[in-house]
Structure 1
Amino acid sequence: MTEQTVLIIDDEPDIRELLEITLLRMGLDTVTAGNVQDALEKIEQYQPNLCLTDMKLPDGNGIDIVRHLQKNYPHIPVAVITAFGSMDTAVEALKAGAYDFVSKPVDLPKLRELIQTALKISGSKHTKHTAKSAEDDAHSSSILGNSAAMQQLKATISKLARSQAPVYIHGESGSGKELVAQQIHLQGSRATAPFIPVNCGAIPENLMESEFFGHKKGSFTGAVSDKQGLFQAAHRGTLFLDEVADLPLTMQVKLLRAIQEGAVKPVGGLEETPVDVRILSATHKSLEHEVAAGHFRQDLYYRLNVIKLKVPPLRERADDISLLADFFLDKIAKRWQMPPIRLSAAARAELQTYPFPGNVRELENVLERASTLCDNNTIQPDDLQLSTTTQTASALSTPQWVRDSPETDKTPTVSDKLPAWNPINEEEERNLIVRALDQTRWNRTKAAELLGMSFRQLRYRIQKYGLDEG
C-alpha cells in the first residue's frame, strides 16, 4: 500500500469504481466501503489520509462518519458528496467538521483539486508517483499562445513571479485567470509550497470566517476539534481569491486585517497565528465600479490591487485560436481514445472570425460538442453550431417536463423535447442531462429523444461528466 490512502464510502458500486479509477490515476491507494458500519471498521483498520463519503448510506449518512472522524481521528479530513443543489446539507456537513463537499454529478477535475488540497492539509507526504503527476500537471497547464498579446502576458507573468506583491488579475469569464495565477505561483519561489485556489462566491456567508481562518474546538455547535483555514493551508505558498468581488463587506474587513497583519485568528481563538501567504485575486467584474458603488472596500481594493494584470479575451488574440483548437482536439481524442479529430479549412476559418464571448472555455466546449457531431472525424462549419452559441440563457428556460407539477409523473414523449440543444456552458448542459435522465428513470434512449440528440451524443456526455450509465 502507498503512503497515501483514500477511503471511498458509497453504496453504489458504479460510483465507487469511478472514484477508485480517478484516485488510482492520481497515484493514490484506495479502500472502499458500502455503508457506515463497514466504513468505521475500515477507518479503524487503515486510518486513511482522506475519506470521501456519500451523504445517503443504507445504515446512516455521511454526517455520522464526519462526526466519528472529528471525535476519534481529527487529523483525517473528510469530504462529503451531496445531491445537486443540497446546499443546506453541505452546510450541515461543513459545520460538523467536513473539509469540503462536492455535488452530484461529481465534477472529476474539481474533485481531483479538492483531494490534492486536502492531502496537503492532512500533512501527508506525496508519493514519488504523485509528485511526478503534479509536475506533469504543471507542465500541461502552461499557457498556450504565440500572439503578441500572449507573449506580453507571459513576459509579465515571469516578472511578477519574481515578486511577492499582491496581484489583481482582471479578465472576462473563461479567459484563463486561474491558469495565470497558477503560472505566477509555479514560476516563483513558492512553487514547491501549496497553491490554494478558493472561489469566494461559492462559500456560504455564515461559514466564510471559519473557512478562511479556521476555528477552535467548541467555537460553535459541531466544532468538535480545531480546524485549519485556507490561510494556514496556504502558509508559505499562494492563496488565490477567485471572484473576490463576491465577498460580503463584513468578510472584506476581516480579510483586510489578515492581509495587513500577516496573521489570522481562528474563530473562537484568543491568539493570532502568523501566516506567510502571497495573495493573488481575480474577478470578471470591475473592482473599480464595485468600489464606486459601495460594494467593495476601497482600502481592501488598494491592498489587493498592488499590481493589476489584465488577461486578454480570446477575440483579442485571434491568432491563437487555431493553436488552441488543435490542442483541445488532440486532448479530446486522447481522452476518449478516438482517432485524431481534424478541422476542415472552412471550420477553421469560421472559428477565426467568431468573437467567443465565453473565451477559451467556450472554444473548448464548442469543440467537444462538434467532436460528437462530426462525420469521419472531420469537423465542418455546421458541426460547430456557432450561430446558436450566442443565444442567451433565457432562451433555455426550464422546459415543461422538468417543472414541478402533478402531471409530471408520466414519462415525457419526444414532443416534449427541447427545441434546440445549445446550452451556454458545461454546468447547464450537465444539469439538463441529469434532469432528463432522472425524468426518464435513466432510460438513455428516451432521455436522448427528450433532449433532441442522438444516443451516441448522450453517451459521450454521460462519460464526459462522469455520470453513472447504469
Structure 2
Amino acid sequence: MHEDGEPLILLVDDDRTQLHLLQSWLTREGYRVQSFQEGESSVAALAHSLPDAVCLDLHMPGLDGIEVLRRIRHAQPSLPVLIMTSDTQIDSIVGAMREGAWDYLAKPINRNDLLNRLTHAVEHYRMHLRLQHLEREAAGRTFPGIIGRSAPMRQLYRQMDRLTESDITVLAHGESGTGKELVARAIHFQSARKEGPFVAVNCAAIPETLQESELFGHEKGSFTGATTRRIGKFEQANRGSIFLDEIAELSLSAQAKLLRVLQERLFLRVGGNQELSSDFRLLAATHRDLQQEVDAGRFREDLYFRVAVFELEIPPLRERLDDLRELATSFVEQFAKSEELGPLALTETTMGILERYTWPGNVRELQNAMQRAAVVAEGGEIHPHNLPPRIVEALRGQGVEIPEPPASPEPTPAADRPAAADGEAVNGETAPEPSDGDAWPDFGEVTLEELEKEAIRQAMQRLDGNVSQVCRELGIGRTTLYRKLQKYELR
C-alpha cells in the first residue's frame, strides 16, 4: 500500500454484528477494512498486509485482546492499536495502555468518536513514517551496508522505511548482483525482529534432492547419509527472518511444503512425525519473472500469491550511475585496507571509463573489478589498463578510447652502466653495500625460476615479510606473490 493511498484498518471483534456495523461506517469514510472474528488470524494477517491502524476488542475467546496487542506490538511497534471494550474497570483499560495501546473506545461505540480517534491515529502513524524517511534523507544516511544516494535508491529507501515498520512478506526483484541480500539484511536489522536470527538460504545452490532437508531439517536415519538429526533453516529462523534467495529455483515438491509453512507456520522434518512451529518473517528474492514461471508451470500460483505480497524492485547499476563513483571508491578503499595495499585512488580517466560501461553483472561485477584493479595497480593509482581485460575490450568494441598502458623501460646494457665501488655514488645515488642476507650466491648456470625464487626470498627477508612492501618492490601483484611463495615453499 502506498502511504498516501486509502488507509487500511484491521477490525478484530468476535461479535459479527459489531464487525459489520464498524466496517460499514469505515468503508463509507474511504477506509479499506479487513475484518477478523478471532485474534490468531488478525496476527497472521500482518504477514501479508500493511495496516495503518487496528481496532481491537479487548475480550475475545481464545487469544484475548491483550495477547493480540502484545503480538502486534512485537511485530510492528509503531502501529496504533485502538482498544474497544465494554469493561468499565479502570484496571483493564490501564493495563491495555501499559501494553502499548494507542487509545481506547468504550462500547457501545459512538460513530463520531471512532472516526475522530481513528483519523488522528492514522495521521500520526503516517507522519511518523514520513519523518523517519525525511530524517534519513536530511542526514544523508542510507541503510547499513548499502551505498547510494541516487534517485532510484532514494525511492527504494522510502519503501524500505515502510517495510522496517511491519512484518509483511517481501519479494525483492532484481538482476543478479544488484544487492538483494543486502536489502533483505537491512530490512531485518532495522525491524522489530533485529534481535532474532537472520537466516539466508541460496535456493539455487541446494541440490533438488536436498532442498526439503535443508529448509525443514531431517531426522536421523530418514535417508541414506542422514547420520544425525539436522535442524532446518525455518527452525533456525524462529523469532527472526528467513531470506530465500532465488526462490524460483525450488522444486515443485519443496514449493508445496513451503506453501503449508507460510499458511500455518507448521512443518515436519524429513522423516519426522512431530509437527514443529516457527515464528519467522519471510523475505524472498529472484531474478526471474515469477508470473512467467507460473504461466510455464514451474512455480505454483498459490505460492506466488503468498510470496509476492510486497514486491520490491532493486535497480540495476546502469540505472543508478550517479552512485558509481561512491561505490567504486568504497570498494577500492575497503580492499586496500583489508589487504594492506596502502593508499589507492582511481584516476579521473579511469572513473570516466567506468561510467561508460553498462555493468551487466551490476554492483557485484563492479566490486570484483575494483578488487582486481587494486591488486595490479602500481604507484598508488588505478589506471584504465588495471581494469579487467573483458571490460576494456568491451568498451573498445563500442568505440570508447582507452589509453594504452605505459611501455616498460628498456633495460640498460651492462656495458653502458657506470661502474661504482661499494658505497660510491651512481647517478647521484649511493650504492648500498651488500649485507650477508642480501648477498647473491654464486649460482653458476641458473634457471630463471631459481633467480625469481632468490629475488623473492631476499625481498621477504629484507622487508621482514611485509607482503605489501614486497609487492611494490618487485612490481608484482599480491595474488601473484602468494602463488609464488607457495610454489617455492618460502612460507
Q: Which band: TM-score by shorter chain?
A: 0.5 to 0.7
C-alpha distance 141-342 of structure 1, shift in aligned 2 (>3 A): same
In structure 2, C-alpha distance between the alignment counterparts of 1:293 and 1:338, rounded to whole Å: 50
Q: Does 1:183 align with 2:186?
A: yes
In structure 1, C-alpha distance between the alignment counterparts of 2:483 and 2:323, rounded to whole Å: 30
Q: Does 1:368 align with 2:368?
A: no
In structure 1, C-alpha distance between the alignment counterparts of 2:244 and 2:393, rounded to whole Å: 33
Query: 5 Å matches for 1:321-336?
Result: 321-336=324-339
Partner of 2:286: 283
C-alpha distance 371-224 of structure 1, shift in aligned 2 (>3 A): closer
Q: Does 1:379 align with 2:382?
A: yes
1:372–1:460 contact (8 Å) kept in structure 2: no
Q: 229-238 vs 372-381, which deviates more? A: 372-381
Structure 2 gap segments, 5+ residues each: 1-141, 397-449, 454-474
In structure 2, C-alpha distance between the alignment counterparts of 1:251 and 1:390, rounded to whole Å: 43
Q: CA deviation at 1:227?
A: 2.2
Residues 68-117 of structure 1, C-alpha deviations (whole Å, 9 max, x = no match): xxxxxxxxxxxxxxxxxxxxxxxxxxxxxxxxxxxxxxxxxxxxxxxxxx
Q: Does 1:174 align with 2:177?
A: yes
Give secondary structure in 1 for the equivalent of 2:199.
strand
Residues 377-432 of structure 1, C-alpha deviations (whole Å, 9 max, x = no match): 211222224223689xxxxxxxxxxxxxxxxxxxxxxxxxxxxxxxxxxxxxxxxx
User: 2:393 pairs with 371, 388, 392, which one?
Assistant: 388
Query: 5 Å matches for 1:434-453?
Result: none
Residues 146-171 of structure 1, C-alpha deviations (whole Å, 9 max, x = no match): 11111111121121111111100010
Question: Which residue identity lines up with residue 246 of structure 2 in the other structure?
Answer: E
In structure 2, C-alpha distance between the alignment counterparts of 1:348 and 1:164, rounded to whole Å: 41
Partner of 1:196: 199
Partner of 2:238: 235
In structure 1, C-alpha distance between the alignment counterparts of 2:481 and 2:305, rounded to whole Å: 47
C-alpha distance 469-227 of structure 1, shift in aligned 2 (>3 A): farther
User: 2:480 pairs with 453, 459, 462, which one?
Assistant: 459
Task: Please state which structure has a larger fraction of its residues in helix.
Answer: 1
In structure 2, C-alpha distance between the alignment counterparts of 1:390 and 1:283, rounded to whole Å: 29
TM-score norm. by structure 1 comes to: 0.54
In structure 2, C-alpha distance between the alignment counterparts of 1:257 and 1:462, rounded to whole Å: 51
C-alpha distance 460-278 of structure 1, shift in aligned 2 (>3 A): farther
C-alpha distance 457-159 of structure 1, shift in aligned 2 (>3 A): same
In structure 1, C-alpha distance between the alignment counterparts of 2:214 and 2:490, rounded to whole Å: 35
C-alpha distance 370-389 of structure 1, shift in aligned 2 (>3 A): farther
C-alpha distance 218-383 of structure 1, shift in aligned 2 (>3 A): closer
Q: Does 1:214 align with 2:235?
A: no
* Higher relative contact order (Cα pairs below 8 Å, separated by 6+ residues): 1
Q: Which has the larger radius of gyration?
A: 2
C-alpha distance 204-461 of structure 1, shift in aligned 2 (>3 A): farther
Percent of matched pairs sharing the same residue:
45
Query: 5 Å matches for 1:80-159?
Result: 141-159=144-162
Give secondary structure in 2 for the equivalent of 1:278.
strand
Tell me how many residue pairs correspond in the alignment: 270
In structure 2, C-alpha distance between the alignment counterparts of 1:187 and 1:469, rounded to whole Å: 47
In structure 1, C-alpha distance between the alignment counterparts of 2:157 and 2:148, rounded to whole Å: 9
User: 2:312 pairs with 309, 314, 332, which one?
Assistant: 309
2:357–2:395 contact (8 Å) kept in structure 1: no
1:339–1:377 contact (8 Å) kept in structure 2: yes
TM-score norm. by structure 2 comes to: 0.52
User: 1:295 pairs with 280, 293, 298, which one?
Assistant: 298
In structure 2, C-alpha distance between the alignment counterparts of 1:263 and 1:460, rounded to whole Å: 53
Query: 5 Å matches for 1:22-61?
Result: none
C-alpha distance 462-263 of structure 1, shift in aligned 2 (>3 A): farther
Structure 1 vs Structure 2 CA RMSD = 2.7
